Amino acid sequence: MSRLNLVAAVAFILGGSLFALGAVFAQLEVGTLATVNITYLVGGCFFSLGGYASILLVVNATRDEGRRGAEEPMRWWSYQPQRRDWLSAVVLFIGTLLFAVSLLAAFAEGLTPRQSNGWIWMPDILGCVCFLVSGHLGMLQVGAGHVEVRVHELAWWVVATNQIGSILFFLAGIAAFTRPATSNALDAGLVNWGTFAGASCFALAGVIQVFDRPTSTRTVVQHTP
């Protein structure tokens, strides 16, 4: 469990850091558009890795020891929709896959505003919604069915920090809608700085998660980009 937790945490630290870096590149016009897109894409790969690792944390949280004390083989998937933490992790992972579609589509050239909104903006905003839903489920998970403030629990700080990041990503996502009349985003500054702030929250939550120790009865689920 501790090894899976570390993999998830490091993946989100790297993913969040690269997304923040890509936002800075875009805002300050450092390098080419391809440089920005590649930075985001690599960060997105780490986010997807962290999302899948979060699922593994959940499905392996209840592994029992065998007759000789040996732990059961690690499960790579399990369908457990009755569990709130499982739903949170799966919705999170789906969100990272939607982001992947958006990040890949960003490499296409000559898109019309309608095509850009359909292939880039739509998957992005749906991914943001997935993160918000996942974060809410995560808050309910750490709050035993309620959204509560538990400042003395590291798990709460992980989920709460990521939920703030999810809100910032959602705002940036709305601002990224391409106006048909101008072919420009609604607010490029909000897109970049919202992405930077949100990604920084995900990276910070990853750092906090490194110091958390999920057990077989309580699994920390990371919530990102």
pTM for the whole thing? 0.90
pLDDT for 209 beyond 90: yes
Token readout for 53 is: 């690792």
**Residues 128-141: tens digit of each pLDDT:** 999 999 999 999 99
**Residues 37-46: tens digit of each pLDDT:** 999 999 999 9
pLDDT for 219 beyond 90: no
Token readout for 92 is: 């999170």
- Answer for the pair 190, 14: CB distance below 8 angstroms, yes or no: no
> What share of the chain in percent tops pLDDT 90?
84
Backbone angles phi and psi of 178, in degrees to 5: -85, 125
Give CA–CA dist 31/89, Å, rounded. Answer: 35
Mean of the per-residue pLDDT values of the chain: 91
